[in-house]
Each structure stands twice: as C-alpha cells, then as structure tokens.
Structure 1
Amino acid sequence: MANTVNPIVRGSKDSSGILAPLKFTRRRATGDKDVQFEVMFCGVSHSDLHLIKNDWGFANYPMIMGLVTEVGPGVSKFKPGDKVAVGVMVGSCGNCDYCSFSLENFFPEKLGTLTYGGDPDLIIVEEDFVIRWPENFPMGRRAPLVCAGITTYSPLMDLMLRIFIFVCCFLILVLVPLI
C-alpha cells in the first residue's frame, strides 16, 4: 500500500470560472476496501454551473471516470487498469440504518475528507461506490451518465417497485377473494 499522496488539483477559486491550482492537503492512503484511480474525465452538470457562479458554494464535478491505479487488499471487484466511474458518493459508514437500506445519502453525519470531486488527478473511493465501466464503451463524453443516468434510473426503479406492489395488492385484495 502506498502512503498518503499529493494529488494535483485545479479548480475555480471564484465565480469567474477560471481554473487555477488549488491548495490540497495530502490524500489518505488507500485503505483495505479502497480503490484509487487516475481521474481522466469528469462531467459537469447543471448543478455545477450554479456552484461555479458561487450560487451554492464550491463546485466539485462529481461525475468522474478513470483507470484504477491501486486497490486495497480487501478489494475483490477491481484491479489496476480497470475502467471505472464514480458519482458524488464515495463512501459511508456501512453500519447504520441508512446504509442497511441503501440510503447512504441521507446519513446525517459527515464522514471522511473533502475529495474535490473530479478536480484532482486521482481519487480514492470505497469499493462499493465504484462503478465498473464496460471495456467496449468509450469513457470520453459519457461522464455525465454517472449523474444523469443515476438520477433517472433511481426514480424509475422506485416507480417500478411501486407498480409491482400495487399489482400484488390488487391481486391479493381483489382477485383472491373471487377464487
């Protein structure tokens, strides 16, 4: 395992949107279940435009794609050289009620350190939050799919679950008594 690393970071310091070097503290060492990867592409969403204009605060471009450079000893899903992507979530406690119901984004406590999203040249993410990118699917202009794709996929899956529950309730409450 490597020791802590000093990533190169460029970002917008003000609402001008001009990129400049940012001071960045050392990134933690790759842990047991961590995946470190070189940031090759990052997407910009509409939310990031508000952040650049300082409407909401710091812009960190959470739609990141790259190549795995190092994995922790407990990582089983990835190896160096794999194409990967990550969204805004890079880790969680894994032990609370929110995590047990896959609702990590509602966790009320702050965990970990500031990642600066896709601005640094590398990032370290917990294995469970890394997405394998298909080898035959180019990365380049696909980074926004990590945000927009998930943003649309999640409600669609929720809707499908609701339809399934409705159909089951209908079958049980209406059709079963007729049998």
Structure 2
Amino acid sequence: MAKSPEEEHPQKAFGWAARDTSGILSPFRFSRRENADDDVTIKVLYCGVCHSDLHSAKNEWRFTNYPIVPGHEIVGVVTKARKNVKKFKVGDRVGVGVVVGSCMKFEKVRKRKLG
C-alpha cells in the first residue's frame, strides 16, 4: 500500500516563501522527508539571503519551482543526528553552505556555478 504524503514527509517545517514572480515572501508551512541514516536535522538560527536568492525568488534564471524558500547559507544547531553521522552530534553549532540537499537536476548547480 502506498504511503500518504504525510507518512512520506513527516517532518514539519516553516519558512518564508515566494509563491510567484513578484518575489514577495509570506509565511509557509511545509513537510520534509524523514532523515536518512546519513542526515542531521538543524534548527536554523540565522540565514543569509544573497542576490542569487532574489534571482530565484523572481524566477529571473527561468527555472524556479514555486513555492520557493530562499536563503541557502545557514547557521544553526544540530537537533538530530542519525546513526551513520560521525562528524556532528546533537547540540553542535553548524554552518551550511550552498546547494545542500539539491536535486542536482540543473547543470549549473551540478558544476557549482550558482550561489
């Protein structure tokens, strides 16, 4: 039997999302997939928003899928660490750079030319 969307994506999250090419941000609740054995969960404390985020929010590069939560450089605290994670533990302060958890669908992203 197929899983429901809630079963496939049980982690609840909150962000500020652009929903169209205006780039205007509004509150947005969404679900994330359950962590895999190599993943950590991070409580985001700070997030940088750079000009590439503005391009994405306004679909100026013509590949934005809405809604989009801009901001890809974050600092936070690890709240969960799965069994294969060796480098981080719960309570660690961490920073996350560009293109983490990307679908890697776009050539420029794969070559790390965005951000």
Q: Does 1:28 align with 2:33?
A: yes
Cα RMSD after superposing both structures: 2.6
Instruction: Name the count of aligned residue pairs.
Output: 93
Determine what percentage of the aligned residue pairs are the same residue.
44
Give 2:71's match in structure 1, choosing from 61, 79, 94. 61
Q: Does 1:50 align with 2:55?
A: yes
Q: Which runs of 5 or more residues in structure 2 are unaligned?
A: 1-8, 103-108
Q: TM-score, normalised by structure 2?
A: 0.65
Give the structure 1 partner of residue 99 of structure 2: 89
| Cα distance, 1:69 vs structure 2 | 0.2
Aligned equivalents of 2:32, 2:40: Cα separation in 1: 13
Aligned equivalents of 2:35, 2:50: Cα separation in 1: 28
| Cα distance, 1:63 vs structure 2 | 0.8
| Cα distance, 1:85 vs structure 2 | 1.3
| Cα distance, 1:9 vs structure 2 | 2.5
CA contact (8 A) 2:77 2:90 kept: yes
Aligned equivalents of 1:91, 1:4: Cα separation in 2: 17
CA contact (8 A) 1:51 1:59 kept: no
State the secondary structure of the residue aligned to 1:9.
strand
